[in-house]
Amino acid sequence: MRALSGIKPTGALHLGNYFGAMKQHIELQEQHEGFYFIANYHSLTTIQDAERLQKLVFDAVIDYLAMGLDPQKVALFRQSDVPEVTELTWILACVTGKGLLDRGTTYKDHLAKGLVPNMGIYCYPLLMAADILIYRSDIVPVGKDQVQHIEFAQDMAGYFNQTFRPVLKRPEPRLNETPIVPGLDGQKMSKSYGNTIELFGEPQAIKKKIMAIKTDSTPVEEPKDPATCTVFALLKLLGTPAEIATWEQRYRTGGMGYAEAKQRLAELYEERFGPRREARAQWAARPDDVEDILVAGAKKARAVAQEVMADVRDACGIKPRDAG
């Protein structure tokens, strides 16, 4: 069973990325073969500054390593180091109706924000399907917001297989127990909403953010509803079940202020992520070793991609490259 996933480096990784996706990736490495990549071609749809993109890629890699992704167990690589992926993107484009991409969430979100989408935004799901299908992935562990993209990849595998012959494997999404992590304002936590709690923020700055999480104005003495409270949702991710049961009781009984819950959330954050800061700093000081990890990961991934592309080219009548 092969698990594959990607993270788009467009900003500092946050609790949504961790609990929605990364945590699963790290857990799955014990049971399954894993391919994990930093989706720099996807970032290029919005990050168009060479130096910044390089830094974002490096930061995402060391975040993963510091949180425990083990390059001895899985292949960790840069999306662009397997250039066959862009070739498959084109081939998939030729068997996919435009109507499917018109329904893409990334494209529609762009339109809804009044932005003029470039063709990269429009074709985002094609590139993502190529990412998934080129490694014959069985499962794709992601947050809920990415499920549509995986369904599109399933559809595109079907279009290709029906048009030519069965070459591409149908992948299945795999969700974490926390499909959507809320951000400081209660919306989905996302780099693009500016409502994130970073994995490796400065302790003081993070505490300030936590203390500013939006809550309702129920007075201290009144009972509160944990189900609608962002602070409680985040506590649930970080606390033990016993502690969470106590907080739930305290919310419902009243006599507890949100500031107290936030204070505890800040402590739990520090307990979980504080000790990883040192590991991250050590990786940050070893850029050559980080590069070696990415090169080794790409070599392993590319071997699979080249095999699949040989079948794909053969199925659709594109001569093998080395045949002249």
Please tell me the distance from the alpha carbon of residue 279 to that of residue 62, in angstroms, as a whole number.
9
Q: Which of residues 114-143 bind ligand ADP (CB under 6 A)?
A: 142-143
Q: What residues contact residue 213 under an 8 Å CB cut-off, 6+ apart?
A: 184, 230, 231, 234, 258, 262, 265
Q: Which of residues 187-246 bind ligand ADP (CB under 6 A)?
A: 188-192
Residue from 39, 69, 167, 168 binding ligand TRP (CB under 6 A): 39
Amino acid at 249: Q
Amino acid at 174: R
Which tokens is 245 given?
A: 């049961």
Please tell me the distance from the alpha carbon of residue 81 to that of residue 83, in angstroms, as a whole number.
6
Residue from 146, 154, 195, 215 binding ligand ADP (CB under 6 A): 146
Q: Between the CA atoms of 226, 231, 236 and 238, what dihedral angle is there, to the nearest 10 degrees? A: -160
Please tell me the distance from the alpha carbon of residue 30 to that of residue 39, in angstroms, as a whole number.
23
42 makes contact, choosing from ligand ADP, ligand TRP, none, with CB < 5 to 8 Å by partner type, with ligand TRP
Is residue 149 part of the contact set for ligand ADP (CB under 6 A)? no
Q: What residues contact residue 193 under an 8 Å CB cut-off, 6+ apart?
A: 183, 185, 187
Is residue 40 part of the contact set for ligand ADP (CB under 6 A)? no
User: What is the enclosing helix (H) or strand (E) of 53?
Assistant: helix 50-67
Is residue 5 part of the contact set for ligand TRP (CB under 6 A)? yes
Amino acid at 103: R
Q: Which stretch binds ligand TRP (CB under 6 A): 47-55, 94-102, 112-120, 139-147?
A: 139-147
188 makes contact, choosing from ligand TRP, ligand ADP, none, with CB < 5 to 8 Å by partner type, with ligand ADP
Please tell me the distance from the alpha carbon of residue 224 to that of residue 221, in angstroms, as a whole number.
9
128 makes contact, choosing from ligand ADP, ligand TRP, none, with CB < 5 to 8 Å by partner type, with ligand TRP
Is residue 21 part of the contact set for ligand ADP (CB under 6 A)? yes
What residue has token string 């016993």? 242
Indicate the residue among 173 and 297 with the shorter CB distance to ligand ADP. 173
Residue from 3, 4, 20, 261 binding ligand ADP (CB under 6 A): 20
Please tell me the distance from the alpha carbon of residue 44 to that of residue 56, in angstroms, as a whole number.
11
CB of 185 to ligand ADP, least distance (A): 12
Indicate the residue among 144 and 277 with the shorter CB distance to ligand ADP. 144
Is residue 140 part of the contact set for ligand TRP (CB under 6 A)? yes
Q: Under the rule (CB under 6 A), what is the footprint of ligand ADP?
A: 7-8, 10, 16-17, 20-21, 142-143, 145-146, 180-181, 188-192
Q: Under the rule (CB under 6 A), what is the footprint of ligand TRP?
A: 5-8, 39, 42, 128, 131-132, 140, 142, 146, 149
